[in-house]
Amino acid sequence: MEKNKVLIFTDAKKNNFTSRKYDLLFIKEDYPSYESYLLKNSFPKYIVYYNQITPLNFRTIFTKIPYDVVVVNGKDIYDIDKLLKDDVLLDDYNIFSGKKITSINKKNVEEIKRVMKDFLNISIQMIKAGYLKEENIDKIEDWIITFQEPILQLFVEYFKPETSNDSVTIEDEFLENPKFRKNILEVMLKVLANYLVNNDLFDTNKIRGKSWLDEDVWLNII
């Protein structure tokens, strides 16, 4: 039976690492090495890195990593069998799942909440611009329109919204197509609604009888 693959981002010597359960692959922790790897190989089961950032930080750098690949902070553990335990795996939270955060790492949880707050603020800007009504009555910040913010890059990689044809970029479609903008925003609000409720960050009694697509709900949520 083939072993699950673990891709390890490190400049440390390979003979520092041990595993009887996994097939270990090594690359330098930089973007060119990562891109080169992806051109030649399929995604592994796990990606392990060795610096101080959270798994979510890591994903904002390497945005093409799908969420069926688990990203793990190796800390100072080179025994990969010992490292890949349940409590560590919980740190790699899928921010688009809307599920309850189960990580017990305080720094990790704070980073997730910060990013989701940014995601909420982006959505509020779109609502105020009239996107739910397929209008364009207010200007939103340029970095949102170009989808260059890491959270929006992750969003595009995760949901892969389809443009009117293959020659049209996400940015151009977003600028020109009111229906496309509305669809993008509705998906964002669905993610946020599930996230807020499942993490006890919003009292649903406040919106009893209302839809999560009502503008008033979101304009009064912050």
Q: In what order do the strands lie in the sheet with 22-27?
A: 22-27, 4-9, 46-49, 70-73
Distance CA 69, CA 86 (A): 15
pLDDT for the residue 31: 87
- Structural domain of 61: 4-89
Is the pLDDT confidence value at 1 over 60? no
pLDDT tens per residue, range 74-113: 999 999 999 998 888 999 999 999 999 999 999 999 999 9
Is the pLDDT confidence value at 19 over 60? yes
Tally of domains within the chain: 2
| CB-count exposure of residue 188 (10 Å: 0-12, 13-18, 19+) | buried
> Quick one: pLDDT band at residue 203, thresholds 50, 70, 90?
confident
In-domain check, residue 101: no
Answer yes or no: do 41 and 125 share one domain: no
pLDDT tens per residue, range 32-82: 988 888 888 889 999 999 998 999 999 999 999 999 999 999 999 999 999
pTM above 0.85, yes or no: yes
